[in-house]
Amino acid sequence: MVLTVTVLVFIGFLLLSMPIVFCLGAAAVSGLLVGGYPLQQLGSTMIASSQSWVLLAIPSFVFAGSLMERAGMSNSLVELARAMVGWVRGGLGMSVIVVSYFFSDICGSKMAEVSALGSALVPPLKRAGYRAEDAASLICAGTAMGMLVPPAIFMIVIAAVTNQSAVALFLAGFIPAAVIGACLCVLVMIQAHILGWPKDTRTSFARLLKASKDAAVPMVIPIVILGGFYLGAFTATEAGAIVALYSLLASKFYYRNVTWMEILVLAYEAGVLTGVVVFLLAVATIFQYLMGLSGAPAFLGWALEPLTGHQWLFLTGVALMTLLFGMLLEGLPAAVVLIPVVFPIAMKMGVHPVHFDIVQTAAVGIGLFTPPLGVGLLMALRFADVTVWQHARLYWPYLIALLVGLMLIICIPELSLMLPRSAGLIK
């Protein structure tokens, strides 16, 4: 009864287009009232769930990513990517994938990444002869892949939800992201020969050297993050502070195109977004509490029991559920609603928690850019000026490439565990 009322209230408010956090909150309060549970549980659980040290990394990374986008650091990364792969057929398309890998490492926000890459790359893609639908697909697929490259906010939240080291997750994401990126680059090569996409530009050592020099300022950040985490020099929260300070100094004293007022506005927006994330996490904890009392984990365990004989099959099933959640409810609600329910089942099966988190992160990234409702997809389509249905009929090869990469991550756990294990962060 409690679970039924909670779900119905959630769906009802969702159909009324209420923000997700208020849908969860109303459903949680309704469940507490119907179940006769004390309302004191609401305040105590929300406060306890929001007191996580790793969540302090969110405002720093969001602020740094917004400031870097405003300063135009993505432009130098685009030129570096074009110098690296622009000489092959379809090189401009491949450069979208390459720069998505680079820019994800410094941006932290998927929406900021879509905005930066869409504005910088969609016009040259169209001028080079790429269809608008393919331009949007490249932005979507690259940004979906970039979900695995730290410092994605989703990684910080899922680390808090599953009680894992955010540093271990950050390190674990580099290789899986490269694997999915390689799958996408192979697809671009095939598409380029079928559709006659041109070579982007000739390259030379001098051009590559100049592009590397121009991109040196933003490229310091992924090197510092990867090296610092691998050597254990700082935590995720400390890394956020370092990246934020570096982005501030670079914007003011190197690029010199951001005013102090703009910096204050970006800091304010980062604080607001952090408040939204923490509030969502706190409210969802009540939702999870009610689901636990109502036997939802036991029911889900029964439903997934046919898959528990093989870890890869179980992870595939859960990843598809997470992908659907990521498409319908965005990424963070998927993390705070679904994952806490299925995570204990995965642990009983012997799935490594870091591997589990990486698979779910990849699935959420794909879900954000899956037709017809993916939030990231809708934003990318605005830059390409195409409709959802125009785009969907040409997006399926990119979606298949993303799913192939996801299956490789699922079936080869060492892709996720190699770096954190070698750094001594996991066994």
Consecutive 10-residue runs of the chain (427 residues): their mean pLDDT? 76 76 79 76 70 75 80 76 77 84 68 72 80 87 87 82 87 93 91 79 76 80 80 80 87 86 88 79 72 66 72 89 75 73 85 93 87 74 80 88 95 93 85
Q: Note whether residue 222 is domain-resident.
A: yes
Residues 29 and 121 in one domain: no
Residues 62 and 14 in one domain: no
Report whether 50 contacts 275 (CB < 8 A).
no
Residues 266 and 319 in one domain: yes
Report whether 105 contacts 222 (CB < 8 A).
yes
Residues 170 and 224 in one domain: yes
The total number of structural domains in the chain stands at 2
Q: Note whether residue 96 is domain-resident.
A: yes
Residues 13 and 150 in one domain: no
Residues 198 and 313 in one domain: yes
What was the pLDDT predicted at 107?
Answer: 61
What was the pLDDT predicted at 196?
Answer: 79
What was the pLDDT predicted at 345?
Answer: 85
Q: What are phi and psi of 19, to 5 degrees?
A: -55, 145
Q: Look up residue 307 and give its DSSP letter.
A: G
Report whether 372 contacts 392 (CB < 8 A).
yes
**30 lies in which domain range?**
1-37
Residues 292 and 200 in one domain: yes
Q: Which of 105, 112, 108 is nearest to 218 (CA)?
A: 105
φ/ψ region of 108 (left if φ > 0, alpha if ψ in -120 to 50, else beta) reads left
Structure tokens, 47: 């406060």
Residues 197 and 333 in one domain: yes
Q: Note whether residue 42 is domain-resident.
A: no
Residues 161 and 192 in one domain: yes
Q: Which of 258, 111, 100 is nearest to 188 (CA)?
A: 100
Q: Note whether residue 304 is domain-resident.
A: yes
Chain centroid to CA 312: how far?
Answer: 22
pTM attached to this predicted model: 0.82
Q: Note whether residue 314 is domain-resident.
A: yes
What was the pLDDT predicted at 411?
Answer: 93
Residues 336 and 361 in one domain: yes
What was the pLDDT predicted at 330?
Answer: 63
Residues 114 and 246 in one domain: yes
Distance CA 269, CA 273 (A): 6
